[in-house]
Amino acid sequence: MRLARFTEFGKKIICVGRNYALHAKEMGHDLSSKPIIFLKPPTAYLPDGGVIKVPTGCKELHHEVELGVIIGRKGSAIKENEASDFIGGYVIALDMTARDFQGEAKKRGEPWSIAKGFDTSCPVGSFIPKESIANPESLKIWLKVNGKVRQEGNTSDMIYKIPFLISYVSQYFTLETGDLILTGTPDGVSAVKDGDQIEIGINDLSKASFTIA
């Protein structure tokens, strides 16, 4: 199936910030009144088993495990009740974040492009066809560093649900086949360093692992 190779042709990685209340809280933020949206370039992709590179000058690299939604067909201004027709599949993913860069950018009111979009900032597992996940709104997503659980959340805790997100972002960006929407991270984000091993998964349905170097 062509969609399984979404990292090779997908043009956009659209990310949602602060979509879990406990993560917003651990970052010291109130909930926002509409979704926070930012982009990563497709050069950020890193397939299962890859090496996550600490971006030059970064002293605080954080992991954020997230459920990814892969777009199966082109659409814009998609209605919430039609959103599921545009889903091609799912993936477990990381929104790797240079937290120190992001902090500086926030202070100055500057964009997060480097903090969030550097090479290898979007590690992904393998493609999961839509049919394999009956209810994406009730999935346990987890992350371990060197074998220890650091994040464990449930997609039922998302503030903005998947159909709403597809509808919202497609008002502004035409969604195309192979695009990825990262739906936000639960609480438990923390720093990783050279040599650490990160493992991520959805229940026991999908698993991927990466090394920091």
Token pair in block for residue 196:
């650490």
- Token pair listed for 127: 């493609």
Q: Figure out which of the listed residues 123, 185, 210, 212 binds Mg ion, where binding follows CB under 5 A.
A: 185
List of residues 6+ apart from 138 with CB closer than 8 A? 154, 155, 156
The dihedral over CA atoms of 84, 89, 94, 100, expressed in degrees to the nearest 10, equals -40
* 99 touches Mg ion (CB under 5 A): no
Stretch that binds Mg ion, among 29-37, 57-65, 85-93, 171-179 (CB under 5 A): 57-65
Per rule CB under 5 A, is residue 64 in the interface with Mg ion? yes
CB of 176 to Mg ion, least distance (A): 22
Looking at the Cβ atoms of 4 and 140, the one nearer to Mg ion is 140
**DSSP string over 114-175:** HHHHSTT-EEB---EEGGG-S-TTS-EEEEEETTEEEEEEEGGGBSS-HHHHHHHHTTTS-B
35 in contact with Mg ion (CB under 5 A): no
Q: Are strands 51-52 and 128-129 parallel, antiparallel or unpaired?
A: unpaired
Residue 112, C-beta contacts closer than 8 angstroms, at least 6 positions apart: 38, 101, 102, 105, 106
Give whichever of 67 and 71 is closer to Mg ion, judged by the CB atom: 67
Q: Is 95 in the site for Mg ion (CB under 5 A)?
A: yes
Question: 177 or 185, CB closer to Mg ion?
Answer: 185
> Quick one: 102 or 185, whose CB is closer to Mg ion?
185
Nearer to Mg ion by Cβ, of 102 and 177: the residue is 102
- Give min distance, CB of 17 to Mg ion, in A: 6
Q: CA angle 155-174-154, nearest 5°? A: 5
Query: Does residue 14 belong to the site contacting Mg ion (CB under 5 A)?
Result: no
Q: In the stretch 145-184, what mask flags binding to Mg ion with x, by CB under 5 A? A: ----------------------------------------
Residue 182 Cβ vs Mg ion, minimum distance, rounded to whole Å: 6
Exposed e or buried b for every residue in 166-176, given b needs 16+ CB within 10 A?
bbbbbeebebe
Rounded to a whole number of angstroms, the minimum distance from the CB of residue 27 to Mg ion is: 10
Residues binding Mg ion (CB under 5 A): 64, 95, 185
